[in-house]
C-alpha cells in the first residue's frame, strides 16, 4: 500500500552555528543540508538529496538562465534554461531558447556521452556522479526531478518539535546538484534546530470528482505511456513549451467505479501550460499516488480487489487517447 512507499528523512540544522546534524529514519533517500542562510527573518535551507536515478534517462536543465525574446506585441517572458532529454531509443532533444535540435547519442564509458546532431556536429558530455552535474557543450546541467512534499519543524532542545506554520517556497536549487531550496519565515531568531521532513518522493495525489471530462481539457499534450507500480502511477507526456513551468493534475471522474468485472475507473489528466509561448517539444514524467482511488474502491466494495484504470489524454472533440493499467492489491 501507499504507506510502504512513503519514505521520510529528517535533516536538522542549528541556525547561526557551524553545525549540521542528520537524523534519519530507515529510508532509501540520503540527504544533507549544505547551506543555511538568514535574512530579515527569512530562513533559506539548501537540502541536497541523494535520489536513486539513472543519469542517462533524465531530463536536464542548464544551471545558467538565459533571457527570452518575446515575439512582437508580447510582454517580456523573463528567463529560460536550456534543456536536454536523453531518450531510451538512442535519440536526444536539445532545447535552446525557442528552437530544438535533435540527434543521436552513444554512451562511450560509464559517465561519458557522445552526441551527434542530425546536421552532423558531434558533441561530448560528461556526468559527475558526486555533484550530479552533467557538463555538455560548455554548460552545466542538472537533472530535473519532482518537487516532494516538505514540512519544516523547529526545536530548541532536539526532543520537542513543532511544525513551522507556512513554508513559503520549496523549489529546485540550481546552485547544487539534486537539491531543494526550502524557504520559511521566523519571527524569533536564536539558537534553534530545524529539520526538514520529506514524504512521498513528490508523487501527486489523484483528485476525486464528478466533473465532466471537458472540464479537464485546458492545454494540449500527448499521452505517451502509463505505468503502474503498486500505488505509484507514472505518466509520460509530450507538450509544446519550454519557457515556463507546466502543471499536471490527475482526476478520477466519475467518482464511482463501473460495474464491470474487474471494476473500472476513468482518470483524466489536466495540463496547465501557464501561458507558455515557446515552441520546443518537451518530454516529461509525472508521478501520481493512487491511494485515494484505492480507498474509493474500498468504500464502494468493502474489500481490496483488482481493478482497471483507464487514463485519458487530451482531446478536443471526444475522448480518444487512452492508456489502460491494472491494479492488483
pTM over 0.85: no
pLDDT at 16: 40
Q: Domain 59-143 belongs to what topology? A: Lipocalin (2.40.128)
Mean pLDDT over 118-138 rounds to 90
pLDDT at 31 (0 to 100)? 55
Mean pLDDT of 12-37: 49
Which tops the pLDDT comparison, 52 or 292? 292
Q: Which residue has the higher pLDDT, 79 or 29?
A: 79
Q: Would you say the CATH fold of 204-327 matches that of 2-51+145-202?
A: yes
Model confidence at 194: pLDDT above 50: yes
Which three three-digit cell numbers place residue 16? 547561526
Tell me how far apart the alpha carbons of residues 96 and 91 are, in angstroms, rounded to a whole number.
17
Pick 232 or 33 by higher pLDDT.
232
Mean pLDDT for the stretch of residues 294-321: 89
292: phi > 0 → left, psi -120 to 50 → alpha, else beta; which?
Answer: alpha
Domain 2-51+145-202 of CATH type 2.60.40: yes
The DSSP line for 126-189 is EEETTTTEEEETTEEEEE--PPPEEEEEEESSSSS-EE-S-EEEEEE-TTSSSEEEEEEE-SS-
At 111 the three-state DSSP class reads: coil
Residue-range domain boundaries for the chain: 2-51+145-202, 59-143, 204-327
CATH 2.60.40.2370 is the classification of domain 204-327: yes
Q: Give the pLDDT score at 161.
A: 79
pLDDT in tens, 249-260: 999 999 999 988
- According to DSSP, residue 215 is labeled G
Give me the mean pLDDT over the 230-252 stretch: 88
Amino acid at each position: 500500500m501507499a504507506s510502504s512507499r512513503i519514505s521520510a528523512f529528517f535533516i536538522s540544522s542549528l541556525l547561526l552555528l557551524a553545525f549540521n546534524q542528520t537524523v534519519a529514519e530507515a529510508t532509501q533517500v540520503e540527504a544533507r543540508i549544505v547551506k543555511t542562510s538568514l535574512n530579515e527573518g527569512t530562513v533559506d535551507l539548501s537540502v541536497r538529496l541523494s535520489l536513486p536515478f539513472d543519469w542517462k534517462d533524465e531530463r536536464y536543465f542548464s544551471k545558467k538562465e538565459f533571457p527570452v525574446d518575446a515575439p512582437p506585441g508580447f510582454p517580456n517572458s523573463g528567463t529560460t534554461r536550456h534543456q536536454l532529454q536523453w531518450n531510451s531509443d538512442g535519440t536526444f532533444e536539445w532545447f535552446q531558447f525557442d528552437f530544438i535540435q535533435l540527434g543521436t547519442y552513444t554512451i562511450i564509458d560509464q559517465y561519458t556521452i557522445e552526441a551527434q546532431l542530425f546536421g552532423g556536429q558531434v558533441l561530448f558530455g560528461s556526468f559527475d556522479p558526486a555533484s550530479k552535474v552533467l557538463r555538455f557543450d560548455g554548460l552545466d546541467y542538472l537533472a530535473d526531478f519532482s518537487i516532494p512534499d516538505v514540512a519544516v519543524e523547529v526545536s530548541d532542545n532536539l526532543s520537542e518539535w513543532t511544525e513551522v506554520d507556512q513554508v513559503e517556497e520549496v523549489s529546485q536549487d540550481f546552485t547544487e546538484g539534486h537539491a531543494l531550496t526550502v524557504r520559511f519565515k521566523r519571527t524569533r531568531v536564536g539558537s534553534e534546530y530545524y529539520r526538514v521532513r520529506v514524504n512521498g518522493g513528490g508523487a501527486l495525489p489523484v483528485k476525486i470528482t464528478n466533473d465532466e471530462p471537458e472540464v479537464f481539457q485546458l492545454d494540449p499534450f500527448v499521452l505517451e505511456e502509463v505505468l503502474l507500480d503498486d500505488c505509484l502511477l507514472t505518466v509520460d507526456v509530450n507538450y509544446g513549451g519550454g519557457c515556463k513551468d507546466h502543471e499536471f493534475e490527475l482526476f478520477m471522474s466519475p467518482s464511482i467505479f463501473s460495474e464491470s468485472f474487474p471494476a473500472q475507473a476513468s482518470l483524466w489528466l489536466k495540463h496547465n501550460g501557464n501561458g507558455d509561448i515557446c515552441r520546443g517539444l518537451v518530454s516529461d514524467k509525472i508521478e501520481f499516488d493512487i491511494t485515494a482511488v484505492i480507498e474509493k474502491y474500498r468504500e464502494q466494495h468493502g474489500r481490496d480487489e483488482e481493478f482497471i484504470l483507464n487514463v485519458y489524454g487530451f482531446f478536443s472533440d471526444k475522448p480518444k487517447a487512452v492508456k489502460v493499467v491494472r491494479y492488483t492489491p
